[in-house]
Structure 1
Amino acid sequence: MPTLRVVDSITELSPVDAGCIAVSGSHGGLSSARYALAARPLLSIFNDAGVGKDSAGVAALDFLQASGLAACTVSHKSARIGEALSTMCDGVISYANPLALMLGVQVSEGCQRVLDKLQTH
């Protein structure tokens, strides 16, 4: 069963967290993706931050997919940006890359439900 790491900022992860499920309050932009790439979690969960110009708030998903890592976001309307507990308890999945979908993540599903499924398999 993967370890659960709940961090307000994805920058709190390190290589010792490889294979964990990372629930963060960070936006899903490229700068956050680089920290996730360095730590290599099984799944990174971010906030979509309203998606933004040129989909900058979800750019991490494609970047991490290209690196073989699963990632998804929760809607900024469901969880507070920068607060991982809000991501985990209140977040509703808004976007997911194909690797996250393969893990069983579903858009419109509550983050806590995703975590429950992943931690029982």
Structure 2
Amino acid sequence: MSPPLRVVDSITELGGQDAGCIAVSGSHGGISSARYALAARPLIAVFNDAGVGKDAAGLAALPFLQGHGIAACTVAHDSARIGEARSTLHDGIVSHCNELARALGVAPGQACRAVVERLRG
């Protein structure tokens, strides 16, 4: 059975009932977003890199979630609209990923839609 797909404009929309899902969000990949993803425990969480930002704040979710056993990646801010999950899914191009995401076959340059289709089998 393929993992369920949750497409949410804000990662805050996820809850415990979403454990094991593929979570595609419009949220930035900052640490505050990472905490919501951690609570939901998806198979993989997809965020927007929000331009990466000062001290790579837009990517902070990736190592944080790696440390908690959750795959995570971001799409490039210039490929998808921040805050719009449908844009993340349909237009997003992976820009960064943690090692757990790489183990699932995710790599920078891939289309988010293709990643999701492959993970859903």
**What TM-score bracket applies, with the shorter chain setting the length?**
over 0.9
User: In the alignment, what sits opposite 1:81?
Assistant: 82
User: In the alignment, what sits opposite 2:117?
Assistant: 116
Identity of aligned residues (%): 68
Is residue 39 of structure 2 the alignment partner of residue 33 of structure 1? no
Matches within 5 A, 1:46-85: 46-85=47-86
User: In the alignment, what sits opposite 1:9?
Assistant: 10
Superposed CA RMSD in Å reads 0.3
How far apart in 2 are the matches of 1:116 and 1:22? 13
User: Which amino acid is 2:53 matched to?
Assistant: G
Deviations 1:32-87 (Å, cap 9, x if unpaired)? 00000000000000000000000000000000000000000000010000000000
User: In the alignment, what sits opposite 2:21?
Assistant: 20
Moved over 3 A (4+): none
User: Which amino acid is 2:52 matched to?
Assistant: V
Q: Look up the SS of the partner of 2:87 in the other structure.
A: helix
Q: Which runs of 5+ in 2 are unaligned?
A: none
1:106 Cα deviation after fit = 1.3
User: Which amino acid is 2:16 matched to?
Assistant: P
